[in-house]
Amino acid sequence: MNIHQSITEGGFLLDAVVGSALADMYAKCGNIDKALELFDSMSQKDVISWISMIAGYVQNRFGEKALETFKQLQLAGVKPDSSTFASILPVCAQIGALELGVKTNATTFSGILPACAKLGALEQGYVQNGFYKDALNFFELMKDSGTSPDIVSFACVLFACSHASLVDEGCTYFNCMSLNGIKPTVDHYVCMVDLLARVGYLEDTLNFIIKMPVKHEVVVWMCFLGACRSHKIIGLGVFTSTLLLDFDPKNAATYVLLSNIYAEVGRWGEVQMVRKLMKDRGIIKIPGCSWIADHKTVHAFCVGDRSHPHTEKIYKKLKELAYEMKAAGYLPDSRHSLNNVEEEEKELFLCHHSEKLAIAFGLLNTPPEKTIRVVKNLRVCTDCHTAKQNLSPKSLEEKLL
């Protein structure tokens, strides 16, 4: 605030560069409202000013706001440069709004391609859209072209290896980092933990975590706890959750994962115990949410959501889809309805998951030739993934934010 005051008193806020830098500072500190206040107060905005605001929204995970700001930039008559495109392209992938994204000619694209590659935007795009093998191929092409992989590139390629369960490749890339003079960060270690745990090497994963030279961050143990849930290893799950609650007793995700571990093996007494502990400590679970974009805007859905203007049509479509999917061989996986209720009630709960609501909306509002893209803030459950596979012809795409 002292720097801000000095800039104001000196009259430097009128300078677009100084104002942009100050707004960027607030955004990086997480105060996006203050950054926006400064941005709006600037009488003159150059392309740097707009990039700073877009980047601020991206850093604080306000993808829709970043896209909206990019549109405002165009309406203001400011010509986007390669840095602007490199900032906004990953956002379009994040919120599943490719049709709302950048439309450019070949000349412009050839100009932004190197910038996107340098910033890891293309690799992120491949990974976020599930094209893991393509991400690895692009990584190798980048190396062959003489471009040295940076810290972001290695994070992308390790993430791709973990989600494609490519253990040998992931270990090779991880070991190659030191050969390129890059010291692994927590992000890289998390990818390796996820890779080893995802394929069931939990003992090896635990040894890897213990030997990590970096601080044992909460995110590392959270990744391991998620693997304990996937593989139904209750003992290790309880041990890990105890560690996590010592680190961060306010983290709702720890309680939720532990509750899910108990629920999936039918230990409902322990489930109620965990839920009571959450209530007593004032811990609120982050609701699962799915986003889908049409040609005008982005629509959000939560589980059991009935707030959308087209709710009646959406639920009617869901009922039709249920018949279609069962006819195709789909059987609801009630393990993912983590409530101690009758089987029929569990199936009804599963039917109203946020991604199913988003898909129903997409089927009602997307032309047959277009792909439906659904984005989630939490991992897609197995039941929803299976249900999607039993839907007909329409091309569907799901990814995690």
Residue 309: C-alpha distances to residues 80, 265, 267, 303 (Å): 35, 38, 39, 16
Instruction: Tell me the per-residue pLDDT of 220-267, one tens digit each, with 9 for 90 and over.
Output: 888 899 888 888 888 888 999 988 988 888 888 889 888 888 887 788
Confidence category of residue 383, pLDDT binned at 50, 70, 90: low
Find, among 36, 11, 14, the residue nearest to 23 by Cα.
36
The mean per-residue pLDDT over the stretch 371-389 comes to 70
b/e sequence 200-231, b meaning 16+ C-beta within 10 Å: eebeebbebbeebeeeebbebbbbbbbbbbbe
pTM score, whole prediction: 0.57
Q: Could you give the strand order of the β-sheet that contains 372-376, starting from the edge strand earlier in sequence?
A: 298-302, 289-293, 372-376, 396-400
Centre a 10 Å sphere on the Cβ of residue 24 and count the other Cβ atoms it contains: 21
* pLDDT at residue 116 is higher than 90: no
* pLDDT at residue 381 is higher than 60: yes
Tokens at 233, concatenated: 């290893």
Interaxial angle between packed helices 82-94 and 106-118, expressed in degrees from 0 to 180 and rounded to the nearest 10: 80
pLDDT of residue 114: 44
pLDDT of residue 217: 74
Confidence category of residue 89, pLDDT binned at 50, 70, 90: low
Tokens at 277, concatenated: 């502990």
Query: Which residue ranges form the domains of the chain, and what is each CATH number?
Result: 1-119 (1.25.40.10), 216-286 (1.25.40), 289-400 (no CATH)
Instruction: Tell me the per-residue pLDDT of 163-211, one tens digit each, with 9 for 90 and over.
Output: 888 899 999 999 998 888 889 988 899 889 999 998 889 989 999 998 8
What secondary structure does DSSP assign to 100-158, as a single string?
GS----HHHHHHHHHHHHHTTHHHHHHHHTT-HHHHHHHHHHHHHTTPPP-HHHHHHHH
Find, among 332, 338, 333, 198, the residue nearest to 264 by Cα.
338
